[in-house]
Amino acid sequence: MSLPAGWVEKTSRESGKTYFLNTMTNASQWDRPEEPAQDGVRASHLLVKHRDSRRPSSWREEDITRTKEEALEILKVHRARIDSGEVKFADLAATESDCSSAKRGGDLGPFARGQMQKPFEEATYRLRVGQLSEPVITDSGVHIILRTG
């Protein structure tokens, strides 16, 4: 069966397993693609705002007073809980993210270059599908990003 347009089949040097590369974005994934490649990514995120965020309020807190350092510490605890398997990313984002995307488990939907703040965009494009970022700092606050497409 041939691959949809824009995808190539590769073999991992580390594991010897087959993976698939989107030739438009250089994103890779283990699962065989069913749709043609698109020039863009899809991601979910968990945002923790702080008092110096461009809008220091959210659906969770009207007046956010924590420091950026406190926000980073909160995010590190969230990341550890996800990494340990204690909680799923989407479930934690739904209750702890300061972004309105929380109601969708942090899902931001698909986006292309130039649509997000530069640090967020760069971090997302560097991730492989299914990979979770380290903390990313933007004008909105601090994020962990899960690339989903």
**What is the SS3 assignment for 114-141?**
CCCCHHHHHHHHHCCCCCECCCEEECCE
Could you confirm whether 57 is annotated as catalytic? no
pLDDT tens, 76-109? Answer: 999 999 999 999 999 999 999 999 999 999 999 8
How far is 24 from 77, CA to CA, in rounded Å?
A: 35
pLDDT tens, 30-69? Answer: 999 988 877 788 999 999 999 999 999 999 999 999 999 9
Which of 53, 99, 101, 133 is an active site residue?
99
Could you confirm whether 117 is annotated as catalytic? yes
* Phi/psi at 21 (5° precision): -115, 125
Could you confirm whether 140 is annotated as catalytic? yes
Which of 28, 29, 38, 117 is an active site residue?
117
Could you confirm whether 50 is annotated as catalytic? no
Could you confirm whether 58 is annotated as catalytic? no
Whether 113 shows a pLDDT value over 90: the answer reads no
- The pTM (predicted TM-score) of the whole model is 0.75
